Chain A
Amino acid sequence: MKSCEGIRDRLMDLIEGELTAGEHQRLEAHLAQCPECCREARALRETLARLRSLPEPAVPDGFLDGFSAAVQRRISAETPPRVVLWRRVAAWLSGRSSLRPVPALSAAAVLGLLLVIGLVRTPRAPQPSPVPEVLVVGETLSIAQNLDVLEQFDILEDLDLLEQLPLLQAPENGRPPKMG
């Protein structure tokens, strides 16, 4: 039957009760006059019933307490995770304390803040100063243009180092100083 393909795509929805009343009626009407689709629906229904009847994996008594303790032991040896600076600032700017997707406005505000820090602190005559190698990631300060990349740099947690960002700006030719 010409319309069978479209019907079969919806059979699982029918079986799991995820159709609207109208769609449900339409599919049932089709099944009533199409033996092939009816067979397919029965097969899917039976298989699903068998899958659901498979026994739940047994979790021994007291097992979960031991599990939780084991995870705690393992993570106590890990370096504690820390929220990165720009996300903290973005959360503060957006007036929220919970973790939620940072809206573009907040992200833009963080970038603005970083740039302001850079402009205000730029010395008129930059002194040669050792720049932490980790900050030199590209031709320009493009590190600040990609927040996902920025997030990888724990060094930005340290505001003293953050203030050195202007030193990355090229003195003459727009290229960052080469690290030796």
Chain B
Amino acid sequence: MSQSDFEVIRRVLHGETAAFELLVRRYQQTILRLTQRMTRNVEDAEDLAQDAFVQAYRSLASFHGQSSFSTWLYRIAVNLCLNHRRATRREDPMEVNGNVPDAREDSLARLLAAERDRALAAAIEELPPQQRATLTLRVYQGLGHREIAEILDCAEGTAKANYFHAIRTLHRKLDARRSSD
């Protein structure tokens, strides 16, 4: 039976530092997905995910267990992504998950779908940071509003409102884009 996160943390804090790898393996995919969604750049995502684990390791003694370890780790990773974004806001057009189809082989429908995805990704990128983080945590990480509120250090009602406004804003942006095409 696998050990709980709290048990693993206890072992690390009592000197069995190698046990931290269990936590890395347990959450690496989740955190990488989050940082990829938040940065939309593979190299940045990997660096930030690594930073999140290293920072968690450094701060492990201050983890009080009021939230789950995953919530705490999410909080570290989201903050790193938001700070990174502030520091390196891109001006260039974004890649869309590296899945742009090859025009020679793919049908027009797929090209159009890719174009729609690109437009949606660009619209997400323009959302205010809190809305963007909320949207990512809700839609792509599947978290509940309460946990999102804990991660983003806001009220649950605020997390819900941010989510609602993010989706409504996206709809309006895409609608406006459709009308202008």
- Across the interface, do A57 and B37 meet the contact criterion of CB distance under 8 Å? yes
Q: Is B171 an interface residue (CB 8 A)?
A: yes
CB distance from B52 to the nearest CB of A (A): 9
User: If A50-B120, A58-B97, A80-B17 touch, does A43 touch B171 (CB 8 Å cutoff)?
Assistant: yes
Contacting B at CB under 8 A, from A31-79, are 40, 43-44, 46-48, 50-52, 54-59, 64, 67-68, 70-72, 74-75, 78-79
Contacting A at CB under 8 A, from B118-135, are 120-121, 124, 135
- Across the interface, do B120 and A98 meet the contact criterion of CB distance under 8 Å? no
CB distance from A130 to the nearest CB of B (A): 27
Q: Which B residue sits closest to A8, measured CB to CB?
A: B164
- Across the interface, do A51 and B167 meet the contact criterion of CB distance under 8 Å? yes
- Across the interface, do B50 and A67 meet the contact criterion of CB distance under 8 Å? yes
Contact of A74 among B50, B96, B167 (CB under 8 A): B50
Chain B residues near A43: list those with CB within 8 A: 168, 171, 175
Q: Is A100 an interface residue (CB 8 A)?
A: yes
Q: Is B111 an interface residue (CB 8 A)?
A: no
- Across the interface, do A12 and B28 meet the contact criterion of CB distance under 8 Å? no
Q: Which A residue sits closest to B161, measured CB to CB?
A: A9
Task: Give the complex CA separation of A118 and B64 in angstroms.
Answer: 26
Chief secondary structure at chain B's binding surface: helix
- Across the interface, do A101 and B50 meet the contact criterion of CB distance under 8 Å? no
- Across the interface, do A100 and B99 meet the contact criterion of CB distance under 8 Å? no
- Across the interface, do A83 and B171 meet the contact criterion of CB distance under 8 Å? no
Interface size on B, residues (CB 8 A): 58
Task: Give the complex CA separation of A43 and B178 in angstroms.
Answer: 13
User: If A99-B10, A100-B65 touch, does A47 touch B170 (CB 8 Å cutoff)?
Assistant: yes
- Across the interface, do A64 and B61 meet the contact criterion of CB distance under 8 Å? no
Q: Is A2 an interface residue (CB 8 A)?
A: no
Task: Give the complex CA separation of A48 and B97 in angstroms.
Answer: 18
- Across the interface, do B7 and A74 meet the contact criterion of CB distance under 8 Å? no
- Across the interface, do A68 and B63 meet the contact criterion of CB distance under 8 Å? no
- Across the interface, do A54 and B15 meet the contact criterion of CB distance under 8 Å? no
Chain A interface residues toward B at CB < 8 A: 9, 11-12, 40, 43-44, 46-48, 50-52, 54-59, 64, 67-68, 70-72, 74-75, 78-84, 97-102, 151
Q: Rank and list the top 5 A-B pairs by shortest CB-CB distance, nearest first.
A: A57-B36, A81-B60, A83-B13, A99-B65, A47-B171
15 A-B pairs (CB sep. < 8 Å): A43-B171, A54-B97, A54-B117, A55-B96, A57-B37, A67-B46, A67-B49, A72-B21, A78-B54, A81-B17, A81-B59, A81-B61, A83-B13, A83-B61, A98-B7
